[in-house]
Amino acid sequence: MTNPENSQDDTSLQTPEEELSKEALSEKELAEAKDKYMRLLAESENTRKRLQKEKMDMMRFSVENIISEFLIPIDNLENALLFAGKASEETANWAKGFQMILGQFKEVLSNNGIMPFVSKGTLFDPHYHEAVETEYTDTVSDGLILEEYVKGYKSKERVIRPSRVKVAKKPISEAQPVPDDTTQQIQEKE
């Protein structure tokens, strides 16, 4: 007679090599699963950080865009207060109150990291300046800003509003070559 227990043992018994290969296979699967888990964890952390940064950037740009809408009324208030000193005493008293309000507006700008920048006397930079006028002169260097019509503002990362400026330009002398389209215009006049 055969013992039923022996027949089950025969099928469930495996050689030591087979057991080691199954154990190695499960360790390999475990290592792959752990690696996959770590990669997914890192990816989710990177996604969280990216979304948080995008949210902060969007909020900052929204605040900067809203504040940029207030720059024109602030400029108008500054210009009006320049003339208030020449007015009567009663008007000068009113101007003091408006000067304090203007100071509060500037404080709000400063608290949000938005600052005006000086343009007059610096070289023209298209990232910071918008040339609305040029003046041909030999007295100063080419590209120097002679006058600032509208004050520019910037935040830490970007220009909120460029300055509108008058820029110096060297006059074209006869010794310098004249561009082709100008040469044609001169010839047509003759």
- Per-residue pLDDT of 129-166, as tens digits, reads 999 999 998 889 899 999 999 999 998 888 999 999 99
State the pLDDT at residue 147.
94
Map out the domains of the chain as residue ranges: 115-176
Q: What is the DSSP code (8-state) at residue 131?
A: E
State the pLDDT at residue 18.
66
Residue 163 pairs with which residues in a beta bridge? 129
Are the beta carbons of 140 and 108 closer than 8 angstroms? no
Supply 11's token pair: 């099928």
Sequential pLDDT tens for the chain (190 residues): 445 554 444 445 666 666 667 676 688 888 888 899 999 999 999 999 999 999 998 988 888 888 889 999 999 999 888 887 777 888 888 888 999 999 999 999 999 889 999 999 999 999 999 999 999 988 898 999 999 999 999 988 889 999 999 999 988 875 455 555 544 444 444 4
> Which residue, among 189, 133, 115, 131, has the nearest Cα to 163 in the 3D structure?
131
- Helix residue ranges, H only, 85-171: 89-111
Separation of CA 123 from chain center: 22
CA–CA dist 30, 48 (Å, integer): 27
State the pLDDT at residue 183.
46
CA–CA dist 121, 113 (Å, integer): 24
Burial 147-165 (b: 16+ CB within 10 A, else e): ebebbbbbbeeebbbbbbb
65 CB-contact burial (10 Å; exposed 0-12 / middle 13-18 / buried 19+)? exposed
Kindly report the CATH class assigned to 115-176: mainly beta
3-state secondary structure of 164: strand
CA–CA dist 170, 108 (Å, integer): 41
Q: At what angle do helices 89-111 and 16-84 cross, to 10 degrees?
A: 170
